[in-house]
Amino acid sequence: MDLFGKKILVIEEDPHIFALIRAMLKPYDVKLVLRKDGIGGLETALEEDYNLVLLDIMLPKKDGWEVCRELKSSGKKTPIIMLTAKVEETDKVLGLEIGADDYVTKPFSPRELIARIKAVLRRYENTADSELDKEEKQLIFKKLEMTIDLNQYLLCIKENPVSLTLKEFELLVFLARHQDQVFTREQLLEQIWGFPDFPETRTVDEHIKRLRKKLSEAGLENPPLETVWGVGYKFSLEDELDEI
């Protein structure tokens, strides 16, 4: 993964942390933009396009959790790495649940942060390249009156759009593309979040729960996301999938 010329937004209150990040990325000619509070950081992230956001959790005016949540809810697909001084497993899980792509615990080494940045950008660009190969394709489920537009990241049920976060959309698409195939929580973490060895799988359950709720509220009495007890989840329908 080539970092040269990338544009990264750093939302970080501590000037020493920013100075460290700037020093470690200087050889790559990365354009860094700094915002020191959550409100200013969110506004900047929404106004311009960045290759990546490095987001601290403990911020003035608006914390990193809320910035991440609002940025993802806006439809922006910019990948986010959370910077946290907290090491509790629940904090890491929360970051993944609200849409963060990775997390780095302070204090971090330059080698670790650069490796994480490269890994996230690689996953993001591979996903983007894959979607470019699917021009004009949709997943259509006639019996459910449900259409998933792969180019516009749009889910419609009974011709009405359903608002999903990026990770919810990716999870739904992955399961829908592998109809009736059962995936464990660990497999879904690896496929959608890129964390094959992450010890906490609750984030998958939470995303499935929210997807079912949104599908039900959109008019599906029996959302096609099934729990296979003791194993994981699958997307199951009686009729076949049409893909165009």
**So what's the pLDDT on residue 12?**
95
Highest mean pLDDT among 3-17, 32-46, 133-147, 157-171: 32-46
The 10 Å CB-count burial string (b at 16+, else e) for 68-106 is bbbbbeeebebbbbbbbebeeeebbbbbbbbbbbbbbee
Is the pLDDT confidence value at 197 over 60? no
**So what's the pLDDT on residue 136?**
46
Considering the domain 138-243, what is its CATH architecture?
Answer: Orthogonal Bundle (1.10)
**So what's the pLDDT on residue 233?**
93
**Overall size of the chain counted in residues:** 244
> pLDDT tens digits, residue range 130-148?
444 444 478 888 888 899 9
Considering the domain 7-131, what is its CATH architecture?
Answer: 3-Layer(aba) Sandwich (3.40)
pLDDT, mean of residues 220-238? 87
C-alpha 5 chain-centroid distance: 23
d(CA 240, CA 10): 46
Fold agreement between 7-131 and 138-243: no
72, amino acid identity = K
Sequence ranges of the domains in the chain: 7-131, 138-243
**So what's the pLDDT on residue 198?**
55
**So what's the pLDDT on residue 239?**
45
> pLDDT tens digits, residue range 150-188?
888 889 998 899 998 888 898 999 899 888 888 888 888
Q: Higher pLDDT residue, 154 or 126?
A: 154
Radius of gyration, alpha carbons of the chain: 19
Which residues, other chains included, contact 60 with Cβ-Cβ below 8 Å and sequence gap of 6+?
Answer: 13, 36, 37, 38
Is the pLDDT confidence value at 213 over 90? yes
> pLDDT tens digits, residue range 75-103?
888 899 988 876 555 566 666 677 788 88
Is the bond leading into 107 cis (omega within 30 degrees of zero)?
A: yes
Is the pLDDT confidence value at 244 over 80? no
